[in-house]
């Protein structure tokens, strides 16, 4: 089992999380639960209560008025995003996950912290019917798990559930990037036929590519065809300088330094298409109609 550092456990305990929640969170990082994931690469900061997947949360706080807004969180995970939306002043929050464990974990988090403006459901997003549209929709690392045949319908449904002028945040692995960011971390692994990609990853002792990334161009085409306007062209940062600061200083790693260098060199040429070369697609979309 991946050990959560003692200081992190102490911080969670001091933040009024119950022992039940902390025990369940430990299981969330248990390789037996995530057999197809390289749990040693999980980042503990993702369970911070003020974190909506790092830079995405920073963008939200800087540019989006969350106060009183309705929020749909697709894929509730451990509930960290739900808590962050609540702390940011969101009105009604709706979240769902196809698996039971994340739903139980999220419900326990809400009980521990007295969060009562959240509706948590165990349901398949594509099959779930909604009675309302939302001001803000967040869908992080979900689309690659729904199956290739369902990816376009899932993106279209996200857009259909947004109010006019609403904001949709989407993150998923980028097939256009040469690096398999989701699973193996190896170049080209996600471009190969699945069987060959699995053997390639195992040869280097990496997690085999198991899911289905989408190319940035296709994601953009689907979102725009369904009434969306993509607002960002360089990750979730306002400028090239902010992007370099985030990748090199705040999230320093060899991969981030390399990609910061590549983006810096190509930015004068790519500009609006800079997202196409990054390991993960992070897009903010405004619903126009």
- pLDDT digits 0-9 by tens, 191-247: 999 999 999 999 999 988 888 999 999 999 999 999 999 998 888 888 898 888 878
Mean pLDDT of 259-284: 89
- Spatial separation of the C-alpha atoms in residues 24 and 288, rounded to whole Å: 41
Predicted local distance difference test score (pLDDT) of residue 196: 96
Predicted local distance difference test score (pLDDT) of residue 50: 42
What does the block give as tokens for 288? 């126009």
- Spatial separation of the C-alpha atoms in residues 101 and 93, rounded to whole Å: 19
- Spatial separation of the C-alpha atoms in residues 22 and 166, rounded to whole Å: 35
List, in order, residues 6 or more apart from 21 with CB less than 8 Å away.
12, 105, 108, 109, 112
Predicted local distance difference test score (pLDDT) of residue 1: 40
Predicted local distance difference test score (pLDDT) of residue 124: 97
List, in order, residues 6 or more apart from 239 with CB less than 8 Å away.
none
Higher pLDDT, 275 or 3: 275
Among candidates 181, 176, 171, which has minimal Cα distance to 266?
176
DSSP state, residue 127: T
Among candidates 280, 170, 163, which has minimal Cα distance to 227?
163
Predicted local distance difference test score (pLDDT) of residue 252: 76
Residue 61 pLDDT more than 80? no
Mean pLDDT of 173-191: 90
How would you label 17-50 residue by residue, b for 16+ Cβ within 10 Å and e otherwise?
beeebbebbeebbeeeeeeeeebeeeeeeebbbe
- CB atoms closer than 10 angstroms to residue 183: 23
- CB atoms closer than 10 angstroms to residue 125: 22
């Amino acid at each position: 089992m991946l050990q959560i550092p003692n200081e992190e456990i102490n911080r969670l305990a001091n933040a009024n999380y119950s022992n039940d929640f902390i025990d369940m969170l430990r299981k969330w990082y248990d390789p037996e639960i995530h057999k197809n994931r390289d749990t040693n690469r999980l980042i503990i900061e993702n369970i911070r209560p003020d974190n909506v997947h790092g830079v995405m949360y920073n963008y939200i706080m800087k540019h989006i008025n969350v106060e009183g807004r309705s929020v749909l969180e697709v894929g509730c995970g451990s509930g960290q995003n739900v808590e962050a939306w609540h702390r940011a002043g969101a009105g009604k929050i709706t979240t769902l996950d196809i698996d039971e464990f994340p739903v139980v974990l999220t419900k326990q988090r809400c009980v521990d912290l007295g969060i009562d403006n959240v509706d948590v459901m165990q349901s398949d997003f594509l099959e779930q019917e909604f009675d309302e549209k939302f001001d803000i929709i967040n869908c992080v690392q979900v689309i690659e798990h729904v199956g290739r045949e369902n990816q376009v319908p899932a993106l279209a449904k996200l857009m259909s559930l947004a109010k006019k002028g609403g904001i949709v945040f989407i993150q998923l692995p980028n097939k256009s990037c040469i690096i398999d960011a989701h699973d193996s971390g190896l170049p080209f692994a996600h471009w190969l036929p699945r069987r060959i990609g699995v053997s390639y990853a195992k040869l280097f002792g990496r997690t085999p590519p198991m899911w289905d990334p989408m190319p940035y161009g296709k994601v953009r085409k689907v979102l725009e065809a369904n009434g969306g306007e993509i607002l960002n062209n360089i990750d979730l940062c306002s400028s090239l300088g902010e992007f370099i600061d985030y990748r090199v200083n705040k999230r320093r790693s060899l991969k981030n330094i390399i990609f910061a260098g590549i983006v810096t060199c190509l930015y004068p040429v790519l500009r609006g298409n800079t997202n196409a070369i990054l390991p993960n697609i992070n897009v903010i979309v405004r619903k126009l109609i």
